[in-house]
Amino acid sequence: MLRIIFSRLLQTLVVVFLLVTFTFFAIRMMPGNPFADVKALTEENKAAMERLYGLDKPLHIQYANYWKNVLLEGDFGDSFSMKGRKVSTLISESFPISLKLGLLSLFLAMSLGIPLGIIAALFHNKWQDYTAMIIAMAGICIVTFVLGPIFQLSFAKPLSWLNVAGWSRPSDVILPAITLCFGVAAYLARLTRGGMLDILSQDYIRSAKAKGVSQLNIITKHALRPALVPAVTFLGPAFAAIITGSFVVESIFLIPGMGQYFVLGIQNQDYTLVLGLVLFYGILMGIANLMSDLALIFMDPKLRNS
Amino acid sequence: MSTSIKALPAGLKDVEKGSSLWTDAYVRLKKNKLAMLGGIIVISILITCFVIAPILSWIGFDGNEQNLANKFAGPSARNLLGTDQLGRDLLMRVLQGGQISLLVAIMATMLTVTIGVIYGGIAGYVGGRIGNAMMRIVDGLLAMPFLIIVILFREVISGQVDEIARFLIDDWGWSDNDVLRFANLIPLTFAIAGFGWLSMGRIVRSSAASLAQQEFVEAARSLGLSHRRILFRHILPNMLGPIIIYATLTIPSFILYEATLSYIGLGIEPPNSSWGKLIQEGANYLETNITVLAVPAVLFSLTLFAFNFLGDGLRDALDPKASKD
């Protein structure tokens, strides 16, 4: 167990290092420069800005400095585009908001998608199966930016306790979370169905049936845990993506979450912001994958030895 | 390979021929009503956008012609689905937007398949340390946040494309309107494909790796055939099934990527328009006139449905073993 955790963490560190390195050099290949949009910027001022942020130094020195600041001082640098704000402040302010939204919608997605998948598998090739799979397909095809406005119009408008958009009341998390959950729920339903069908055709399930174990016990005690393996494998990366990448939903419902910075950062060529986000995202992804690995080990004893 | 009795029409002489993977698959596909419906819808949408819409615009219907006196008009003989916030014909706008959405998705899918097959095929066939290293690069890029990598690619490429476009206009005298409109699509297409080929590469690698272990490849190798010949003549044809399935399922996901990017203002730029852009514009007039949102949203969702059902059906038909999810 410890060995798995250790090797996962090591792997995460390598991935994060490579991601940041790739991003560091790739972002400088973008045409233009970080201060191109600033109006009335004389050559002198521009040079001064570049000196201030250390952009006048050779690239490899800048690269070394970045790691030095991050590792030795825990400093992710100042944002280029949002003057006077540190990247770490931007992330620490917006992350809790995205986390709250992401966790709620993930919870909704699981409580919707997994039962749907189980029902579909139990009634394989019957009308329940087809209905469940058409619902799941609807979740994939009716996307957030179509659903969001529909929800705003049909729920937020008539109900006084729901805001159309904004992030001031506790109830403001509800509509965005519901909007965000359907896509994930749909994938979960499909994966759960696949896993369940796979397990239900195994010999040990047939043996259990032959011994007269009830249908309910077969599902809950014997089939469910291994059947959820594909869904849980998907949940790891989905967790990281839903928490950071919900930019569209954030912009529909005007939520001050993290997603906006991914787009703003790269549009404004805000090197430090983008690098900070990639670093944070990589670590989050590593943690999410570790959690889904640990859950898998708990669920499938065969994985304990490998 | 199993032969299916149902594949054979009446008349015994056909029995001697047996049935190929593709006839088998076609028979299975034909039985899947949802997939057939999806296929019919896909074909109808393609014909409507790429054949009927150009004819309509040739006989004088225009999606870009503004008429502010006639905005948010209801359906009429002149504007079958009414008009939008600037008095433009909604039907023509949706069809022309569809052209762009589909064009970007299909071009990006073709790129994805090309890059993915070559990269994944080589990684799977060579295997060993080189193959592994190639796949680690893919894994690493897959760990990047989607938006960052797509926007990065798009910006880097658009600089190059602009230069080529300017060259075509200035030196070759091409019509600047056409060139610029098309040039606007290229960076987006490459950006989407630049992210999309990663999953394609993975799928191709895993099937190439398992094919490379098979006896017929060993036989080809012992006959002294070149690596390139083995890869393209022996391994590639056997991977066509998964490639076709995955390509069909890639098109709707690329339509979705394009729409998402256009929705957040990082995709298609005016005068071009796409479903994502139309949905975004329509959402602003949600309370005034819902058809401006509803028409592109319905057509967009319907297209995604159709492609996904067709793709799922193709997977069930071509690869019955893998059809559990």
Decide if pLDDT at A163 tops 90: no
Residue B77 inside a domain? The answer is no
Q: How much is the average pLDDT of A22-31?
A: 83
pLDDT band at B212 (very low <50, low <70, confident <90, very high): confident
How far is residue A10's CA from residue A4's CA, in Å, rounded to a whole number?
A: 10
**Model confidence over A233-274: pLDDT tens digits?**
888 888 887 877 578 888 888 889 888 888 888 888 888 898
* Residue at B156 is within a domain: yes
Which of B237, B208, B207 shows the shortest CA–CA distance to B321? B207
Residue B249 included in any domain? yes
More confidently predicted of A101 and B292: A101
Higher-pLDDT residue of B162, A222: A222
Tell me the ipTM for this assembly. Answer: 0.81
Q: What is the DSSP letter of B284?
A: H
- pLDDT of B19: 67
Task: For residue B226, tell me if it sits in a domain.
Answer: yes
Asked if residue B119 is part of any domain, the answer here is: yes
More confident position, B257 or B289: B257
Please give the helix or strand (H or E) that residue B132 lies within, else none. helix B128-142
Q: Per the structure, how many domains does chain B have?
A: 1
Q: What is the pLDDT of residue B300?
A: 92
A192: tokens are 């759960």
Residue B214 lies in a domain: yes
Distance from CA of A130 to the nearest CA of B (A): 10
Q: Residue range B47-60: average pLDDT?
A: 85
Residue B111 has pLDDT above 90, yes or no: yes
Q: Cα(A231)–Cα(A116) distance, rounded to whole angstroms?
A: 12
The pLDDT value given to residue B289: 80
> What pLDDT was estimated at residue A38?
59
Contact A23 B304 (CB under 8 A): no
Q: B156 to each of A269, B185, B204, B254, how far by Cα in Å?
A: 12, 14, 27, 20
What are the backbone dihedrals phi and psi of residue A78, each rounded to the nearest 5 degrees, phi first? -90, 145
Q: Of the candidates B103, B33, B34, B45, which has an alpha carbon nearest to the alpha carbon of residue B303?
A: B45
B77 within 8 A of B287, measured Cβ to Cβ: no
Least confident of A155-169, A171-185, A228-242, B226-240: A155-169
Nearest to B308 among A137, A251, A263 (CB): A137
Query: What is the reported pLDDT for B1?
Result: 44
**B111, B189 contact by CB (below 8 A):** yes
Q: Is residue B305 part of a domain?
A: yes
User: Shortest Cα distance from B233 to chain A (angstroms)?
Assistant: 33
CATH of the domain at B184: 1.10.3720.10
Ramachandran area for residue A168 (φ above 0: left; ψ -120 to 50: alpha; else beta): alpha
Determine whether the interchain pair A145/B259 forms a contact, defined as Cβ–Cβ distance below 8 Å: yes
**pLDDT higher than threshold 60 for residue B11:** no
Query: Looking at chain A from residue 208 to 267, which residues have their Cβ under 8 Å from any Cβ of chain B?
Result: 230, 241, 244-245, 247-248, 251-252, 262-263, 265-267
Full domain range(s) for residue B280:
46-53+82-324
Q: CB A248 to CB B263 under 8 A?
A: yes
Residue A211 tokens read as: 């011994």
Maximum CA pair distance of chain B?
A: 77
Cβ A262 vs Cβ B147: under 8 Å: yes
Which residues does residue A86 pair with via DSSP β-bridges, in sequence order? A78
Whether residue B252 is preceded by a cis peptide bond, meaning omega within 30 degrees of 0, is: no
Residue B321's pLDDT band, with cuts at 50, 70 and 90, is low
pTM of the entire structure?
Answer: 0.84
- Mutation site, B144, B149, B154, interface A, largest A CB count within 10 A: B144
Give chain A positions within 8 Å (CB) of B147: 245, 247, 262-263, 266
Q: Which amino acid is at A268?
A: N
Pairwise CB contact (< 8 Å): B151 & A267: yes
C-alpha distance from residue B277 to each of A21, A63, B99, B110, B253 (Å): 34, 38, 13, 23, 16
Non-local (6+) Cβ contacts of B164 within 8 A are: B183
Distance CA B195, CA A65 (A): 30
Calculate how close chain A gets to B277, using CA atoms only, in Å: 11
Measured between beta carbons, the chain B residues lying within 8 angstroms of A143 are: 256, 259-260, 301, 304
Instruction: Tell me, yes or no, whether B29 lies in a domain.
Output: no
pLDDT band of residue B140 (cuts 50, 70, 90) is confident
Is the confidence at residue B16, as pLDDT, over 60? Answer: no
CB contact under 8 Å between B280 and A145, yes or no, is yes
Per-residue model confidence as pLDDT tens digits over B235-277: 888 888 888 888 888 999 999 989 988 888 888 877 788 898 8
Nearest to A66 by CA among A98, A28, A121: A28
Asked whether B155 and A30 are in contact (CB, 8 A), the reply is yes
Predicted confidence (pLDDT) at residue B322 exceeds the cutoff of 70? no
**What CATH number belongs to A97-268?**
1.10.3720.10
Backbone angles phi, psi at B89, to 5 degrees: -70, 120
Record the tokens describing residue B177, joined without a space.
């309107």
Average pLDDT over residues B85-107: 86
Instruction: At B36, list the tokens.
Output: 């057939």
How far does B284 lie from chain A, in Å, by closest CA?
9
Residue ranges covered by each domain of chain A: 97-268
* Among the partner residues A15, A26, A143, nearest to B152 by beta-carbon distance: A26
Residue B110 has pLDDT above 90, yes or no: yes
Q: Is A135 on the interface with B (CB under 8 A)?
A: no
* Cross-chain residue pair A146–B151, CB shorter than 8 Å: no
